[in-house]
């Protein structure tokens, strides 16, 4: 069994190699890549169907790299690990993972035993495994705010990319009124209204973006992926004959 480690920190890379050797005696070869672009290329080697992937990397983040890998080899089993339990990461992973494909998400602060159990569960047993500490941290944040549903989150991402209401409505297949209702809902859930001073007139769209970044509902990595999706949509929108 050949395993690919995609990690830009040498210490963490060595730690992962040791954990893999201890947890998975089935592993016969471990190869490494230092960023997402290298990871995409290394994943094309014969026999690589198990991958451990950092989420925050230069050149290409883990979600973007996984998206490319899964588009070419949808059966690849990927375990992500990160220092952060961002809601944005879970949503980003869920958006790119193929149906019925095994994946995992564990924090770098997890114990060695927890990491080893996670590696085995995802890479060998083909389970979907999200570290309970990730859910615990997110639940602590949700005490302060209600979780956005998928349609509200889609509108939030488009807002963050600078789209106006009419273009959001076109892209998401919503009416203009529906988009505006989603905006009102996400303003409330993100606490935009409650943190505005009565004597000030502040831009609610900008405040919503600020709150989403502070609460880690979105982050740089998921914005990069969202920008790629938007670029593809804009190309299709501009193509002749798009509409029948």
Residue 116 has pLDDT above 60, yes or no: yes
Other Cβ atoms closer than 10 A to 236: 9
Percentage of the residues of the chain whose pLDDT score is greater than 70: 91
Between 143 and 157, the higher pLDDT residue:
157
Residue 143 has pLDDT above 50, yes or no: no
Our measurement of the distance from residue 22's CA atom to the centroid of its chain's CA atoms, rounded to an integer in Å, reads 28
Closest CA to 61 of 226, 233, 230, 235: 226
- Give first-to-last CA distance, the chain, whole Å: 49
Whole-number pLDDT of residue 244:
42
Place of tokens 């509108």: 155
Place of tokens 């995802």: 122
pTM for the model stands at 0.81
Is residue 145 very low, low, confident or very high in pLDDT (cuts 50, 70, 90)? low
Q: Which domains are present in the chain?
A: 2-142 (3.40.50.2300), 150-238 (1.10.10)
Q: 190-195: which pairs have CB atoms within 8 A and are 24 or more residues apart? A: 190/145, 190/148, 190/215, 190/217, 191/144, 191/145
């Amino acid at each position: 069994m050949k395993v690919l480690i995609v990690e830009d920190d040498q210490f963490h890379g060595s730690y992962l190699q040791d954990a893999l050797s201890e947890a998975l005696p089935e592993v016969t070869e471990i190869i490494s890549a230092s960023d997402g672009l290298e990871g995409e290329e290394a994943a094309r080697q014969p026999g690589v169907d198990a991958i451990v992937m950092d989420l925050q990397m230069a050149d290409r983040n883990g979600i973007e790299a996984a998206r490319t890998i899964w588009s070419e080899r949808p059966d690849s089993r990927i375990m992500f690990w990160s220092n952060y339990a961002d809601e944005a990461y879970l949503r980003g992973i869920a958006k790119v993972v193929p149906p019925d494909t095994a994946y995992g998400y564990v924090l770098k602060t997890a114990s060695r035993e927890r990491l080893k159990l996670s590696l085995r569960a995802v890479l060998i047993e083909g389970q979907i495994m999200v570290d309970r500490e990730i859910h615990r941290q997110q639940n602590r944040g949700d005490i302060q705010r209600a979780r956005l549903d998928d349609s509200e989150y889609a509108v939030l991402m488009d807002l963050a990319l600078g789209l106006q209401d009419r273009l959001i409505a076109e892209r998401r297949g919503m009416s203009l009124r529906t988009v505006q209702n989603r905006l009102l809902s996400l303003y409330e859930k993100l606490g935009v209204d409650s943190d505005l001073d009565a004597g000030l007139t502040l831009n609610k769209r900008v405040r919503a973006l600020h709150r989403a970044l502070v609460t880690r509902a979105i982050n740089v990595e998921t914005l990069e992926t969202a920008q790629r999706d938007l670029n593809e949509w804009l190309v299709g929108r501009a193509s002749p004959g798009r509409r029948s």
